[in-house]
Amino acid sequence: MAKWIEVIENYSDDIASRAGDADLTLAVPSCPDWTLGDLVVHLGTVQRFWAHNLMKRNSGERSTLDDPEDPPDGAVVDWFRSSTASLASALREVGDDSPCWTWWGDPLTSGAVARHQAHEAAVHNWDVKLALGIARPLASSIAHDGISEFLEVHRSEFSDDAHAYVTFQSTNTNGTWHVGRDGESPATVAGSASQLVLLLNGRVPLSALSVQGSPESVQTLLDGIDLQ
């Protein structure tokens, strides 16, 4: 748990620092129709939701804020910092294995939420840097776990159709993931862990990676993912 809280805090602090020095009306190329300000508000709202949900300690019911708080005009970055602080505080208070509702199902625990929010902060940090023209690959260790976490969270969306069976291979972290029906894979996608997790999150096109076999099979799988 502690490592995920640190990841959330570090990536969120970097987002806040960069947003504080930037034009919040900048477009975010990886999130169509969003400005930089929209992205910051989105992530802050998500962090506040999970903080509230965690404190309910109820795995059987989705908790909602009675009166969601909008950021004050001119204070979006300070509001975002407060959002991150609320999430980190809630995670520390409830501990590793507290019951918590999740939209993806098991495990219904605070630890699963911490891991998921760490990866959300990491990907949105990449979005912010892309908007500012300074995008860099995600850290290999974060990206590698991000692939596993993404595939676990979205496991129910992958078709059993043989044409949707795909192998993902990380060229820099020695990782291999098989998705879909057991059997011979009609396609293998290879790239760095950062490229793979960004592909899964809809941030880079399939053409940016190496595909052996049927690109259509990979696209079928990607098209079936509901990006929250």
- The CATH number of whichever domain residue 42 belongs to comes to 1.20.120.450
Q: What is the pLDDT of residue 180?
A: 79
* Residues in CB range of 118: below 8 A, 6 or more apart: 4, 5, 7, 8, 11, 142
Q: Are residues 94 and 201 in the same domain?
A: no
Does residue 201 lie in a domain region? yes
Q: What is the pLDDT of residue 70?
A: 76
Q: Could you read off the pLDDT of 37-87 as tens digits, one per residue?
A: 999 999 999 999 999 999 999 999 998 776 667 787 789 999 999 999 999
pLDDT band at 182 (very low <50, low <70, confident <90, very high): low
pLDDT band at 97 (very low <50, low <70, confident <90, very high): very high
Taking all residues of the chain, what is their mean pLDDT, rounded to a whole number? Answer: 93
Q: What is the pLDDT of residue 5?
A: 98
**In terms of residue numbers, what domain contains 195?**
143-223
Does residue 24 lie in a domain region? yes
- The CATH number of whichever domain residue 166 belongs to comes to 3.30.1050.10
Q: Could you read off the pLDDT of 141-180 as tens digits, one per residue?
A: 999 999 999 999 998 887 666 556 899 999 999 999 998 7
- CA dist., res. 76 & res. 179, Å (int): 39
Tell if the pTM clears 0.75, that is, is over it: yes
Q: Could you read off the pLDDT of 108-138 as tens digits, one per residue?
A: 999 999 999 999 999 999 999 999 999 999 9
* Residues in CB range of 156: below 8 A, 6 or more apart: 104, 105
Q: Are residues 22 and 44 in the same domain?
A: yes
Q: What is each CA distance from 144 to 139, 149, 155, 194, in whole angstroms?
A: 9, 9, 17, 7
Pick the range with the lowest mean pLDDT from 7-11, 62-66, 98-102, 194-198. 62-66
Q: Are residues 127 and 147 in the same domain?
A: no
pLDDT band at 220 (very low <50, low <70, confident <90, very high): confident
- Tokens 């809630």 belong to which residue? 90
Question: The tokens of 121 are what?
Answer: 């902060």
Q: Are residues 202 and 126 in the same domain?
A: no
pLDDT band at 98 (very low <50, low <70, confident <90, very high): very high
Q: What is each CA distance from 152 to 43, 63, 107, in whole angstroms?
A: 21, 23, 10
Question: The tokens of 191 are what?
Answer: 């790239």
Q: What is the pLDDT of residue 38?
A: 95
- CA dist., res. 196 & res. 154, Å (int): 15
